[in-house]
Amino acid sequence: MHIVFSEKCLEYWYPGHPESPDRVYQAYKLLRDRGFRFVNAEPCSDDELLLVHSREFVERIKSEIFYDPDTPSLPGIYEYAKLAAGAAIRSMEIALGGEKTFSLMRPPGHHAGINGRALGASTLGFCYFNNIAIACKKALRKVSRVAIIDIDAHHGNGTQEIFFGNPNVLFVSLHRYGGVYPGTGERSVGNCLNYPLTYAVGDAEYLRTLGSALKEVEKFDPDLIAVSAGFDTHKNDPVCSLGLSFESYVMIGQMIAELGRKTFAVLEGGYGRDFPKCILNFLEGLEQI
């Protein structure tokens, strides 16, 4: 298992914001101490951003003159966001070579749509560029079919917007729905399969639902699986929760690994003190098969 990472992603912060550098730093320390192999992240190119985003939106982030209630315009954020997207691309490339990989980077990306706020969402949801979408769009130059499995507690509205109607991509999302940002993903549409969960369902129901979703992934027969790996589903997450235990993340990793496909994962959300352990368990499950 390779971990794609750069300490540069720890340099920026905004006072009081839950998407903090410390959450990723604590996860980095745990994975380092457990002996995971690290690969240095490199930024993506401007042209790679344009694989999924409009030029106008890219220029808006580049200018650092924009307003979003929960996604602040920070000095250097354009370069930090390009680094996270580049890490996702590097993870994808390693996975295509036959090794499972995980991009441990910030900022996250799955809420960023073609022109920014996606599917009518009120904000960008801590995201600037859609890291996993950029990586998957680039992967489609080399493979025929990609499945994206979004296990973050929030619906991946940006990813859905970008890939809706693309017959070469299956998007699957398990997420909290009802009074929770971004308020999308109530039902499945075309190649975007949504599994909304209306309360903190806990391990048993979540894993049953995931099993149903993975049957659809298996039918799709992808050449590559990309996981939008959010850990705000944990029962102690302060931002959102689906009531999951530590043990469930091992099972989630194992269930995805049992599909037997080339696989990479990209960090999304997760904001509690238990966040590093959730990542570790997921990666250990993903490695077991």
**Known catalytic residues?**
111
Distance (Å, whole) CA 218 – CA 239? 32
For residue 208, count other CB atoms closer than 10 A to its CB: 11
Choose among 266, 287, 269: nearest CA to 87.
266
| Type and span of the H or E element at 141 | none
3-state SS class at 3: strand
Residue 169, SS3 per DSSP: strand
Question: What is the secondary structure of 13-52 as a DSSP string?
Answer: --TT-SS-HHHHHHHHHHHHHTT-EEEE--PPPHHHHTTT
Environment class of 62 (CB within 10 Å of its CB; exposed 0-12, middle 13-18, buried 19+):
middle
